Amino acid sequence: MGTVIGPVIVALAIWTVRRGRSRNEVVAGHALGGWACGTMALTSVEAHPFYLTAFGLVVLLPIFRDRQFMQLVKCGGAFIGAYLGASFPFAIEAWTALISQFVNAGNGHPGDWIASSGFLVQATGVTFTANARLMSYPFVPLVTAIAVLIVLLASIAVLGRSVTAAGDPEKVLRTDRFALFCIVLLVTVLQFTLYMRGVGYGLLKLTDYFAFLGSVVIAVAAFQVDLTRVAAGPLLPAVFAVYCLVGLVEKQRHILGPYGERTAGAPLPLAYRLGDEAVSGILSGDLSAEPLNLFLYENRYQTTRISFLTSESNRFGPHVTATPQYLARMSRVGFGGTTIADITYPAATTPKALTVTSAAGQIHLLLPDPHWQTPEGEEVGKLRRWLSVSGKFVIFGPLADRRSLDFEVAAGPDLRRENQIEIYVAGQLLQSVSPSELPISIHALLPLQVGPQAAGEVRIIGPTRGIRQISVAKLRTVPR
């Protein structure tokens, strides 16, 4: 949606400053531009400030140049009113989020990987960038991308010269060329600035939502210098075909191919719809990454509440209730080449089709926690976590039958002879283990649990220097 609205904003900026516009037409252009920018705020919060800047630069320059300050008041009022009319009250929250994002994540954002020289290849639309160096790309896409980049820079130079040089033929109106040159120059300077500062996420948004601009600039510059008539023969279609062929091969290899492989083994979206038996309960989505997004997409219009522990997600708030909880199980372990399984999952193979089962007896680690290290191992039955000091977890309830807490414990390099390992559930000590007993399989009888969840803890008593006192694996509950 952003790239659909983007060309409209650029076109409105060019139309507004076109030579011969009456004052009322200029005011109308500002109002239409404000409405388009407000609509852009609803579709891409992060990208729309760039369009605000681009539109403002183009339409304000003639007003300041001609010192029409009363006109500035009218145009500014029309623009702001239309902008707020399209986006209010969302605009207030949007700008609060934008300022917070800029302050807290302007640098060091996960998108910073794009702030590398490989960004130039993606900016030309040839292939996806994941490489830090240009020379790490294959020869053909690298040459194609550099050729596109050279043509774009030459087109910007042609536009700039045609705006400043007197006596050039007006194949394209000078005011149109001036507006387009201002926009592309602004985008180029912003890209260079964000690249030099390493602000990859902003650079990614700026590039994505102005992706169409390079084609427009090249076309206008070519038409202005009468190159389109020369290239109207076989040359232009041949160049276009070569670019499309290289781009298609690269995107099939790095984007479409992996996406197809990942989704081919996934259940249909309908499989992620929760059954009627769970509608009255509280749902705890036991999903990660792509499965979680697919699950939420399929259930986006349902009124069923979804519950997440505070430690399990930073996108959803917890919903505390005493009613029964249900667990939406993932389709299988290791979905999409990523190890989703944790030590909290049983060694038994999960069903291929997604099912909805009772959450009673399921265990979730309380994360993030500096004492639980990341899981190691590639097989679900052999996954383990290193632990130091204390590792907390939650057992979902209610438990209507007697169950035992089962897991395996092995000594780590930081464990000392004077340490003691204690296992607690709901504040009750279930078992104590000394280092001399390790490795050991714990089978601790759980008390009957009537609440929706109970807190558990594996606690290490004594000196706890280091991060690998013990190794914990196969943490689960089993019927007795």
Percentage of the chain lying above the pLDDT 70 cut: 74
Residues 203-251 have pLDDT tens digits of 888 888 898 999 999 999 988 888 877 666 677 788 889 999 999 999 8
pLDDT at 401 over 90: no
Q: Which residue has the higher pLDDT, 336 or 233?
A: 233
* 372 in the same domain as 224: no
Establish if 331 belongs to a structural domain: no
For the chain, the domain total comes to 2
- Check whether the bond before 89 is cis (ω within 30° of 0): yes
Q: Is the pTM of this model over 0.75?
A: no
Nearest residue to 272 (alpha-carbon basis) of 203, 212, 356: 356
Establish if 68 belongs to a structural domain: yes
What is d(CA 40, CA 52) in angstroms, rounded to the nearest whole number? 10
What is d(CA 459, CA 61) in angstroms, rounded to the nearest whole number? 67
414 is in which domain, residue-wise? 365-479
CA angle, 187 as apex, 183 and 188 as ends, to 5°?
A: 115
Establish if 356 belongs to a structural domain: no
Residues 114-168 have pLDDT tens digits of 778 888 888 888 887 667 777 888 899 999 999 999 999 999 999 999 888 777 7
Q: What does the block give as tokens for 303?
A: 């009124």
Domain end position, chosen among 236, 255, 272:
236
Establish if 196 belongs to a structural domain: yes
What is d(CA 463, CA 416) in angstroms, rounded to the nearest whole number? 7
pLDDT at 163: 86
Phi, psi of 416 (to 5 degrees): -115, 160
Establish if 399 belongs to a structural domain: yes
Domain end position, chosen among 236, 255, 274:
236
Residues 2-30 have pLDDT tens digits of 678 889 999 999 999 988 888 899 899 99
Establish if 102 belongs to a structural domain: yes
Residue for token pair 């492989």: 261
- Beta bridge partner(s), residue 433: 421
Residues 252-287 have pLDDT tens digits of 988 888 878 766 766 666 666 665 544 444 555 555
Residues 173-204 have pLDDT tens digits of 888 999 999 999 999 999 988 888 777 778 88
**Average confidence score pLDDT of the chain:** 78
Establish if 456 belongs to a structural domain: yes
Chain centroid to Cα 355, Å, comes to 27
Establish if 124 belongs to a structural domain: yes
CATH code, domain with 448? 2.60.120.260
Domain end position, chosen among 192, 220, 236:
236
